[in-house]
Chain A
Amino acid sequence: MENKNNINNEIEATLNSLDNIGRAEVSPYFYTRLEGRLQQRKLSIFDSFLQQLLNRPALAVSMLTVFLVLNIIAIKGVSSANNASLTKSASPLQNFATEYNMNTTSVYNNSGR
């Protein structure tokens, strides 16, 4: 019984052991260290992005694949658009030439007559 009372007292004392606790203080020159970290962070945002890519080869490879696929799609798109515009623009030009009888060769070709 006495033992139980002792334990209960101990529990109470433990629960109250944080009474009048003081504040833990950060070690000196905290601001200097923080400033250094802030500078480093500003400088290394791009570096850390690269570092992350290098640390994760799977991510790097998949990003590279996406980049290549997008490039191929873009190149194909541009070249097909060029072809289409060439074929489209060729026929009105020809029509124009036929309409104004410009299909004959240059007048200089007839100069010998």
Chain B
Amino acid sequence: MVEEHLVEALKNRQQSAFRQLVDEYQHMVFNTALSMMHNQEEAEDIAQEVFIQVYESVQKFKGESKLSTWIYRITITKVLDWQRHKQRKKRFAIITSLFGANNEVERDVPDFVHPGVLMENKERSTILFKALDKLPENQRVAFVLNKVEGQNYQDVADIMGVSVGAVESYMHRAKQNLRKLLEAYYYTDK
């Protein structure tokens, strides 16, 4: 089905159109969420949230951007919201544990291995994903969309709602920061 027809059918609440949308975009949404969250269950949870959001707000979609761009945007927003919420919870748990409350401080997640990484790159990619977590949001989003999802700079710019120049700058700084983090890792930890 052509994209416009699919959107029209979704606006008319056609169940078959919603199924087609999910079939078409589920892996894209899940992969993006997983690459940023590093947890399969949580990524699937966010993927479900994304499609529920799409279902509920498709009437507002005016077709000014590609459908995939809109879905990417929703995914990124959901992931970042979830991460901010988790960060706040973690900070609160640390503070309350200092005052003796028995809130358990969340332990660090185990090393993340992306299922799509080539066998020979598994160990290095785990180190890279760990370093990626320490980057500012914009740099992290641009890096994941470009390197993991394979989106070109123009598409990344459309998804993030910024100019191509801004994406180039995010990518440049992301690589610089990653290099510094990896240097620190290899020089001190090894």
Scan B22-39; emit 1 where CB is below 8 A from any A CB, else 0: 110011101100110000
Does A21 contact B116, Cβ atoms closer than 8 Å? yes
- Which residue of chain A has its CB nearest to the CB of B120? A17
CB distance from B51 to the nearest CB of A (A): 6
CB distance from A93 to the nearest CB of B (A): 58
Q: Which of B34-79 contact A (CB under 8 A)?
A: 34-35, 40, 44, 47-48, 51-52, 55
Q: Which of A23-77 contact B (CB under 8 A)?
A: 23-27, 30-31, 33-34, 37-38, 41
CB distance from A33 to the nearest CB of B (A): 7
Number of residues on chain B facing chain A (CB within 8 A) = 36
- A15 in contact with B175 given A7-B183, A7-B187, A26-B30 (CB within 8 Å): yes
Of A13, A14, A37, A38, chain B has the most CB atoms within 10 Å of the CB of A14
CB distance from B161 to the nearest CB of A (A): 24
- A17 in contact with B179 given A33-B48, A41-B52 (CB within 8 Å): no
Q: How far is the CA of A25 from the CA of B31 in the complex (A)?
A: 7
Q: How far is the CA of A33 from the CA of B48 in the complex (A)?
A: 8
Does B116 contact A22, Cβ atoms closer than 8 Å? yes
Contacts of A17 in B (CB 8 A): 117, 121, 124-125, 128
Interface status of A11 (Cβ within 8 A of chain B): yes
Contact-size category for A: 20 to 34
Does B52 contact A30, Cβ atoms closer than 8 Å? no
Interface status of A91 (Cβ within 8 A of chain B): no
Does B186 contact A23, Cβ atoms closer than 8 Å? no
> 7 A-B Cβ contacts within 8 A?
A15-B182, A18-B121, A21-B147, A26-B27, A30-B26, A30-B44, A37-B52
B-side residues, CB < 8 A to A, are: 19, 22-23, 26-28, 30-31, 34-35, 40, 44, 47-48, 51-52, 55, 114-118, 121, 124-125, 127-128, 147-148, 175, 178-179, 182-183, 186-187
User: Given known contacts A13-B124, A23-B28, A26-B26, what 15 new A-B pairs fall within 8 Å (CB)?
Assistant: A11-B186, A14-B128, A15-B128, A18-B114, A18-B147, A20-B118, A21-B118, A22-B115, A26-B30, A27-B40, A30-B22, A30-B30, A31-B26, A34-B22, A34-B51
